[in-house]
Each structure stands twice: as structure tokens, then as C-alpha cells.
Amino acid sequence: MGKKGGRNKLKRVAAPRSWDISRKGPRFVFKPTPGPHPIATSYPLGVVLRDLASMATLSKELKYMVKTGKVKVDGVERSTPSFPVGLFNLVSVPLEGVDYRLVPSPKGLVLAKVSSSETAKKLCSIHSKTKVRGGHTQYGLHDGRSVLDDKLNLSPGDAILLEVPSQKVLGQARLEKGGIGLVLTGLRAGQTGKIVEVKNGTISREKMVRISLPSGEAEIPSRLVFPVGTEEPLITVGAAS
């Protein structure tokens, strides 16, 4: 009888190029399970702990650490090392007293240490806005979350600052002129700057953002710019911040 479903193993050399890991070492790495982030823009929790944070060397150690409830993602204990962790997810190991946030860089997503004042704060971009039963407004966020809030007057492309895991709204950031934007991919990934202009898209051209960065002014597709604040970022958004 043939096997059903895909493989649950992933060779290290076949891991996505966006993963900032060594291609040498143990033959296999954890393969992320289906979840809030696609494989190309996330890491399995086990890879974050072993390859990025260097908190363990053996898979046995990682599995014990995770399955005994010693690791939290966005304030929620996760019991599988294959759980996908993506942009701005908070990874906490209370027994070690460390808290990390995944942030963009030219190499892909990397870890940034965060202070205790930020361990319950997460910035999420809005991917959809719909009306649901009762006339309430629902926002669909980049990590699969949904937030019901009739007071916010935001659009897809804007961002919401949440308290996790309660999902209480703490603030917002708009993709508009004068705001602070973060570049998500490419050689400028991880850089923040003042948004100079937002150009609406046409039939043949997507929406573009002109932004002033430390490396110079650039025009970038709006889908690659994440609004992170007005005068300054609402949270730590860079590994060197």
C-alpha cells in the first residue's frame, strides 16, 4: 500500500534559501508543520533554538525543552519543535531569561533580543478587511490572526500593535507619507526610514512606496514595506536596534 501525504523530513541542504543556517552539519532539519506562516518565510521552532539561538546541539535536547513547556511563542507554550515561527514572532525561554523576536535582514529572518517591556508586544500587518455578522469590522493579519475592532479605521497594508496572547490592541501604524517603514526583503531588508510618498497602483503597475533609507532613497513595492510607527518604530524591528 502506498504512502499518503508528503514527507515529514527535510534535508539541511534542501532547506529554503531564505533560512539563515549552515548547510553543513546534521543531515536533517525540522520541517515546519502547516501553520500561520509559509515555509519560505518562517523557521521551525527547533531550527530557531538550535541553529539561530544556539541553545541546544542535539534534537533530543530540543524535543525535551519544547515538550516540557519551556518555550513560548507569542506568550503561548508550544509543544512541537516543528511549529512554524515567522516575522515578528516572539520566542521566549523563561528558564534561560531570554526573549527574541524574528526580524528581517539581508540574510533572511534573524533573531533580535528584546527587553522585558516588549515581551508581550507584536506588530502585525493587515492583509484583509471584511464585514462580519452584526456589521462588525474584522481585520485579517499576516500571521493568520483576526481582530474584531470597529474603532480602528485602517486599511490593508497598515499595521496593528497587539498585546499577545490576549490580542488587545495597543497601537497602530499606517502605510502613509511621513510614517516609518521597514523593508522586508532584498539587500535593504531590515532598514527603516521615513516614507516620502505612496504611489497608488494601476492595471500594469503595483502600488509603490518611496522611502528614505540610510543607504539612500528607494522606490519599493508596497507589499515589501511594513509600517512600524510614526516618528519611531513601535517595537524593536532590527537585530542591531
Instruction: Quote the pLDDT of residue 4.
Output: 62
Does the residue 240 lie in any domain?
no
Instruction: Quote the pLDDT of residue 83.
Output: 93
The CA-atom distances, in angstroms, between 155 and each of 69, 136, 152, 236 are 37, 15, 9, 23
| Residue 186 and residue 168 share a domain | no
**127-145: burial string, b at 16+ Cβ within 10 Å, e else:** eeeeeeeeeebebbbbbeb
Instruction: Quote the pLDDT of residue 35.
Output: 86
233 pLDDT more than 50: yes
Provide CB contacts within 8 A for 81, sequence distance 6+. Answer: 30, 44, 45, 46, 49, 59, 62, 63, 66
Domain count within the chain: 3
The domain that holds 84 is classified in CATH as: 3.10.290.10
pLDDT digits (tens, 9 = 90+) for 61-85: 888 888 888 899 999 999 889 999 9
Residue 154 is which amino acid? L
Domain around 219: 180-229
Average pLDDT over residues 219-241: 88
Q: Identify the three-state secondary structure at position 118.
A: helix
pTM: predicted TM-score of the whole model, two decimal places: 0.88
What is the average pLDDT score of the chain? Answer: 90
Instruction: Quote the pLDDT of residue 200.
Output: 92
